[in-house]
């Protein structure tokens, strides 16, 4: 249908070193802020506008994670070892992003209505435990990333990406042209 799209808080390099590469998820270590699921490329500009609007009101804030906990998905043959993440501002940011996306007409199904911010450590066999070091870290979150479209987008908290109406129109036209394999002569 579309692209698996979400807004994520990537861990800085120092904190990310605690996390091994995952077979089921090849993205860099991160906290999912808002998973938007399958989205067509037509939704990209709506999500960008919603993200810019929501982030304008947020200054960088502290995020911390420590320990190991587990999700036990009922319909899967694995468990998920993860580091719980603590930050009241992160919960507020998620709500602001969700509200802005709805306002801009972005549609998605929230499969996880109770937000449990975390960083995945490992997918384990049922009942198996994480046998690595126990992560403990804290950092200042100053950016959010939009992953899942052809191009990743990086947004700074407290700033609105400056894109003129002309550049927005040009971006939309370029997407239409590339999706239909039409070439314009300048």
Residue 129 lies in a domain: yes
Other Cβ atoms within 10 Å of 8 Cβ, number: 21
Please, which residues have CB within 8 angstroms of residue 147's CB and are 6 or more apart in sequence? 5, 6, 8, 27
The average pLDDT across 84-90 equals 96
CATH number, domain containing residue 79 = 3.90.1140.10
Q: Which residues contact 120 (CB under 8 A, 6 or more apart)?
A: 19, 22, 25, 29, 80, 81, 82
Q: Is residue 161 part of a domain?
A: yes
Residue 71 within any structural domain of the chain: yes
The answer as to whether 185 is a domain residue is: no
Residue with the larger pLDDT of the pair 176 and 64: 64
Residue 132 is assigned to a structural domain of this protein? yes
pLDDT higher than threshold 70 for residue 7: yes
pLDDT at 47 over 70: yes
Give mean pLDDT, residues 91-117.
92
Average pLDDT over every residue of 152-160: 88
12-21, 41-50, 101-110, 172-181: segment of lowest average pLDDT:
172-181
pTM of structure: 0.82
CA 57 to CA 54: how far, in whole Å? Answer: 6
Q: At 2, is the pLDDT very low, low, confident or very high (cuts 50, 70, 90)? A: low
Contacts of 2 (CB under 8 A, 6+ apart): 38, 39, 40, 41, 43
Per-residue DSSP letter, 123 = E
Give the Cα separation of 174 and 114 in Å (integer). 38
> Domain tally for the chain?
1
Average pLDDT along the chain: 86
**Is 78 contained in some domain?**
yes
Alpha helices (H) in the chain, listed in sequence order: 13-16, 44-55, 88-103, 165-180
44 in any annotated domain: yes
Average pLDDT over residues 89-96: 96
Tell me the mean pLDDT in the region 135-146: 96
Is residue 147 one of the residues assigned to a domain? yes
Q: Range of 27's domain?
A: 3-180
If one counts every other C-beta atom within 10 angstroms of the C-beta of residue 146, the result is: 21
């Amino acid at each position: 249908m579309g692209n698996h799209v979400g807004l994520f808080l990537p861990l800085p390099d120092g904190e990310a070193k605690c996390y091994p590469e995952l077979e089921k998820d090849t993205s860099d270590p991160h906290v999912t802020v808002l998973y938007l699921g399958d989205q067509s490329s037509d939704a990209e500009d709506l999500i960008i506008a919603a993200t810019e609007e929501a982030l304008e009101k947020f200054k960088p804030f502290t995020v911390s994670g420590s320990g190991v906990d587990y999700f036990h998905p009922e319909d899967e043959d694995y468990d998920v070892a993860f580091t719980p993440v603590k930050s009241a501002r992160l919960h507020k940011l998620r709500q602001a992003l969700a509200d802005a996306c709805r306002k801009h007409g972005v549609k998605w199904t929230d499969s996880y209505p109770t937000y449990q911010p975390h960083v995945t450590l490992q997918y384990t066999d049922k009942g198996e435990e994480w046998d690595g070091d126990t992560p403990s870290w804290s950092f200042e979150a100053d950016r959010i990333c939009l992953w899942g479209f052809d191009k990743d987008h990086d947004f700074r908290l407290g700033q609105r990406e400056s894109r003129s109406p002309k550049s927005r129109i040009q971006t939309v036209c370029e997407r239409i042209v590339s999706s239909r394999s039409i070439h314009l002569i300048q």
